[in-house]
Structure 1
Amino acid sequence: MPSQATETELVGRTALVTGAGAGIGASVARTLADRGARVAAVDRESDGVKALEAEYGQDRISAHTADVADAAAVEELVAEVERTVGPLGILVNVAGVLHAAPVVELTDEDWARTFAVNTTGVFHVSRAVARRMSERRDGQVVTVGSNAAGIPRTGMAAYAASKAAATMFTKCLGLELGRSGIRCNVVSPGSTDTAMQRALWPEDDGTNAGPPRTVIDGDPDTYRTGIPLGRIAEPLDIAEAVAFLVSDRARHITLHDLYVDGGATLRA
């Protein structure tokens, strides 16, 4: 077994990555492809995944469009990927939405959509893929959650609750599938430089100089500690954690929740 990452460690594996059109999902798709996997990149919007396909070539990354909140569409997607790309040995659930607002201002629609994508979407895709993995008695599932699932955040109740539910779902799935040799883990990022994260920042002067100091240093008014490592994560930091967990280097790790947040939650 290799002791470190190699460009060939995932050769022969087929991976499905949701939310692959941008941000963490796109970085995960690239990282798995760079290690030799054939990747089915899935997103509700087609532009980002088509760009990945053009960048890598269809034999390495193929573009697929689906809304993970739609159970029928997910079943069709997984059947298509298995037919046209290959038997799935890796699933990475990245698709997610964020509606930031105090609880008293959250709309029913925002709450429902948050759970439809962040929680029910994880269920839909994981169920469809797990059925096939179980028959083959092999596979890895990683859900990209959030450190907000483990510590309260002001203005993020819907997001945090949905990610907490997805985290526990993934652990329960891993418990059920363990005897089939299928490993299920969670990667929980903290603040990561993505469009979703930048939408939370105040309007800047157009220079994109970086995150507000409160993201790095913390903000007592919102009961938020800073980031001990003194930097915001890049999508690649999360993708590398995912790549480790789906590789044979993590062959005895399951039901684990790996925080990749620079110590921001003090592992609360």
Structure 2
Amino acid sequence: MRLTGLRGITAVVTGASGGIGSQVVAHLVNEGAAVAAVDITHPAVAGRWSGPEPAVASRVTRHTAHVADAAAAERILDRVEAAHGPVGLLVNVAGVLHTGPLDSLSDTAWQELLAVNTTGVLVWSTAVARRMTPHRRGSIITVASNSAGTPRAGMAAYAASKAAAVSLTLGLGLEVSSLGIRCNVVCPGSTDTPMLRRMAPDPAAVDAVLHGDPSAFRIGIPLGRLAEPGDIAAAVLFLASEQARHITLHSLYVDGGAALHG
């Protein structure tokens, strides 16, 4: 199936420097979208692009901002729309991870989880939705986590921040559905990114992710493999495409069956 509706669209991707975010940017560029790549560090886009490099470069702009900074979001969106036209797609990918028991979680870690994983989604989703409203069309996709709906030992605070992001996205989707704006969520499981490698730095930890860890009440991944960032990006592209035009308020789990989510 050939995806349609992405060529020529103006898209914004937060967390564009990360393993998943950079692949979302690369996939969108390959489909002919103009992409604003946003990150707290200068976004560097990974992956191979099709087509001549100068043509690709002209379709990607890089913007530096903290996702919880509402004023920065408005400034960036003003520049993006002036250069490329109305935003038709927002992909919230920016995220941070802090693990460990809740009773030893620092206030700083908790505030950062909420600021990036939750407030960032609120700031960018509402700012973009307001700009989409006059055009009565658009798509907002939040990359959350399968932990948002499945308890994980040592990840309760992260899961809470992602569960809030899911609820925000779907609640907004209900409010703007009559305006032709679709809001969906992609829930990855363990994905082979630098974030995962920092959390599970040794082969034994990765083996526990794949095959389960009874002491942590974790079943493992039924498909027996870690996701690659491109797997998550492909799911995002489908939900953004015309082929998903009748899909909204949906959470798509891309986790190899790890959450046993029906």
Q: Do Structure 1 and Structure 2 share a fold, with TM-score over 0.5?
A: yes
Select the residue among 4, 19, 23 that pairs with 2:19.
Answer: 23
Match of 2:72? 73
Aligned-pair distance for 1:202? 3.4
Q: Write the deviation string for residues 108-134 of structure 1: whole angstroms up to 9, x where unpaired.
A: 010011000000000000111100001
Whole-Å separation in 2 of the counterparts to 1:52 and 1:155: 36
SS in 1 for 2:63: strand
Select the residue among 228, 239, 250 that pairs with 1:234.
Answer: 228
Match of 1:12? 8
Are residue 86 (structure 1) and residue 85 (structure 2) matched?
yes
Match of 2:175? 176
Describe how 1:1-268 pairs up with structure 2 within 5 A: 4-6=1-3, 9-49=5-45, 57-203=56-202, 212-267=206-261
- 8 Å CA contact 1:49–1:64 kept in 2: the answer is no
Match for 2:11: what amino acid?
A
Whole-Å separation in 2 of the counterparts to 1:90 and 1:162: 23
Aligned-pair distance for 1:58? 3.2
- 8 Å CA contact 2:43–2:63 kept in 1: the answer is no
Q: Write the deviation string for residues 31-66 of structure 1: whole angstroms up to 9, x where unpaired.
A: 111111111111110052599998874322111111
Whole-Å separation in 2 of the counterparts to 1:17 and 1:5: 22
- 8 Å CA contact 2:90–2:139 kept in 1: the answer is yes
- 8 Å CA contact 1:40–1:85 kept in 2: the answer is no
Unaligned runs of 5+ in 1: 205-209
Aligned-pair distance for 1:212? 2.0
- 8 Å CA contact 1:14–1:90 kept in 2: the answer is yes
SS in 2 for 1:11: coil
Match for 1:43: what amino acid?
D
- 8 Å CA contact 2:22–2:46 kept in 1: the answer is no
Whole-Å separation in 2 of the counterparts to 1:212 and 1:170: 31
- 8 Å CA contact 1:9–1:36 kept in 2: the answer is no
Whole-Å separation in 1 of the counterparts to 2:189 and 2:115: 22
Q: Any runs of at least 4 consecutive aligned residues in structure 1 with deviations exceeding 6 A, and if so which?
A: 50-56
Whole-Å separation in 1 of the counterparts to 2:238 and 2:8: 16
Match for 1:5: what amino acid?
R
Q: Write the deviation string for residues 51-98 of structure 1: whole angstroms up to 9, x where unpaired.
A: 999887432211111110111111111111111232100000000000
- 8 Å CA contact 2:26–2:45 kept in 1: the answer is no
SS in 1 for 2:259: coil
Aligned-pair distance for 1:20? 0.6
What do you get for the CA RMSD once the two structures are aligned? 2.0
> How many pairs align?
259
Q: Write the deviation string for residues 183-230 of structure 1: whole angstroms up to 9, x where unpaired.
A: 0000000000001111111346xxxxx972111101001111110101
- 8 Å CA contact 1:147–1:190 kept in 2: the answer is yes
Whole-Å separation in 2 of the counterparts to 1:115 and 1:200: 19
Match of 1:207? none
The share of aligned pairs that are identical, in percent, is 56
Task: Tell me the TM-score normalised to structure 1 length.
Answer: 0.91
Distance 1:226 1:263, change over 3 A: same
Whole-Å separation in 1 of the counterparts to 2:46 and 2:36: 11
